[in-house]
Amino acid sequence: MHHLSSQLWRRKPVAPGGGHSGAGEGLARNLSTFQLTMFGVGATVGTGVFFVMHEAVPDAGPAVILSFLLAGFAAGLSALCYAEMASAVPVSGSTYSYAYATMGEVVAVGVAACLLLEYGVSTAAVAVGWSDYLNLLVSNVFGFGIPEVLTGGPFEGGVVNLPAVVLVGLCTLLLLRGVSESATVNAVMVLVKLAVLLLFAAVAFTAFSADNFADFAPNGAHGVTAAAGTIFFTFIGLDAVSTAGDEVKDPQKTLPRAIIAALLIVVTIYLLVAVAALGTQPWTAFSDPDQAEAGLARILENVTGATWPGTLLAVGAVISIFSVTLVVMYGQTRILFAIGRDGLAPRSLATVHPRSRVPVRAVVTVAIAVALLAGFLPLDALWDLVSIGTLVAFITVSVGVIVLRRSRPDLPRGFRVPGYPVVPVLSVIACLYILSGLHWTTYAWFVAWLAVVLGFYLVWGRHHAVLNRPAEADPATAGAGDVR
């Protein structure tokens, strides 16, 4: 029992120069601050405004603006904590790696379960939403839609959501080419989506009416909190930035700058689009079945009485959601790479291709899992499940900052949380408050998934962990994934 206890709470060594021992072997440091900021924006902007607003407005009414601010405030506090952790432990793996360095192996495994859940489900759900906007675009341009049998899985009266599967396939091909190529394509798509959303706001403001804000918070504070919980998962982009620790130039400075810059851009765009959209119609219209798919495009069509603005927005959404899927898939592959590198999942997942410097097996594994989820399962009910994973990850990072300040004050940090320790504590409190608004069934599914992953760890993972072999775990001799 003593041996098991020591395994559960052992921590991965952190090299004196920052980062885990052996981190980064095989991966190439190609990403700039701008590219990494675009990763954060690419993984975040899109989901919150193109899909989730039509889920959140019926909960909060016009007070969804407060929900965006609440989610942004909690994410902002967490972003400061992420910035410090990323500068002190600048490696792939995000919150999983931070937890392994600060709180022990069993906590890292629990966080890994959260990350794999939030990344996998959100990527698949976003791919399904992409299918809706693509269908609207095809219908407006060519006069016919994609057959329903190919836009929904077996539980939705179809056979497979083919566009969603195709999107996952396209993202996989890009990721296999290399991180630099993926980052360049993503940056272009992000700039296009920002331009389209600014256009949406400009057109929507022509039909703005303050009367639509009259019944401001129809469901009170509970509605605002519930909507914030639904919205919160979109801030996964901040976590996605920190998964790139092994592939960033000058990570101790680049990671904090990119995380904070991405947060500021995201919150600004969210609020602008939310105010513009709410001003065009009563809040009750957001739950209209006609707006369940491609909602923002429908709003523009209603405002202008023409299809071209909606078509243009659908083009932007198709590009925008492509970038969300690309970056979140990228993040999940790097988390899986880190887990494999540590031996808590098969070590083959950390195998890096010698030419492209890509963990090919991790990419293919993620692609298959996400394609199956997106193609065959209804994911509408799982938004909150993604949020709970994101919130737990954010809490872990905030606590990790406090633990690492006490346990390793000597580590060089390119960024330090201002107002320490108040900010990390407030971050935890804000995240717990948002968690309180989630439904009990969300917790039940979350606990069930956590039990499965911890069961795998107890049966298999702890016996194969790299920390079982001191020579590999030592900072002086450690190696990351095999390069073949």
pLDDT value of position 383: 65
Please indicate whether residue 56 or residue 421 has the higher confidence score (pLDDT): 421
Q: Could you tell me where the DSSP H helices lie in 350-435?
A: 360-376, 383-407, 422-435
**Can you give the pTM of this predicted structure?**
0.85
Residue 366 has pLDDT above 90, yes or no: yes
Q: Which of 69-83, 208-222, 374-388 is least confident?
A: 374-388
Which tens digits make up the pLDDT trace of 332-356? 999 999 999 999 999 999 999 888 8
Residue 481 has pLDDT above 50, yes or no: no
Residue 12 has pLDDT above 60, yes or no: yes
Contact between 39 and 196 under an 8 Å Cβ cutoff? The reply is no
Pairwise CA distance, residues 464 & 442, whole Å: 32
In a domain, 186, yes or no: yes
Pairwise CA distance, residues 443 & 450, whole Å: 10
How would residue 372 be classed by pLDDT, with cut points 50, 70 and 90? very high
pLDDT value of position 483: 36
Which tens digits make up the pLDDT trace of 114-156? 999 888 888 888 888 788 778 878 888 888 888 888 888 887 7
Residue 221 has pLDDT above 60, yes or no: yes
pLDDT value of position 24: 45
Which tens digits make up the pLDDT trace of 239-252? 788 888 788 888 87
Residue-range definition of the domain harbouring residue 377: 34-464
Closest CA to 428 of 44, 81, 40: 81
In a domain, 98, yes or no: yes
In a domain, 46, yes or no: yes
In a domain, 132, yes or no: yes
How would residue 106 be classed by pLDDT, with cut points 50, 70 and 90? very high
Q: Is the peptide bond before 354 cis (omega within 30 degrees of 0)?
A: no
pLDDT value of position 3: 76
Q: What does the DSSP 8-state code read for residue 294?
A: S
In a domain, 356, yes or no: yes
In a domain, 482, yes or no: no
How would residue 301 be classed by pLDDT, with cut points 50, 70 and 90? confident
In a domain, 88, yes or no: yes
Backbone dihedral region of 22: left (phi > 0), alpha (psi from -120 to 50 degrees) or beta? left
pLDDT value of position 200: 86
Residue 415 has pLDDT above 50, yes or no: yes
Please indicate whether residue 10 or residue 31 has the higher confidence score (pLDDT): 10
Helix (H) or strand (E) holding 109: helix 105-142
Q: Which of 291-300, 329-338, 383-392, 445-454 is least confident?
A: 291-300
Pairwise CA distance, residues 251 & 315, whole Å: 34
Residue 478 has pLDDT above 50, yes or no: no
Tokens of 440: 């009990």
In a domain, 359, yes or no: yes
How would residue 473 be classed by pLDDT, with cut points 50, 70 and 90? low
pLDDT value of position 320: 80
Q: In angstroms, how far apart are the furthest CA atoms of the chain?
A: 71
Structural domains of the chain, count? 1
CATH of the domain at 78: 1.20.1740.10
State the average pLDDT over residues 217-232: 85
Tokens of 30: 């190609």
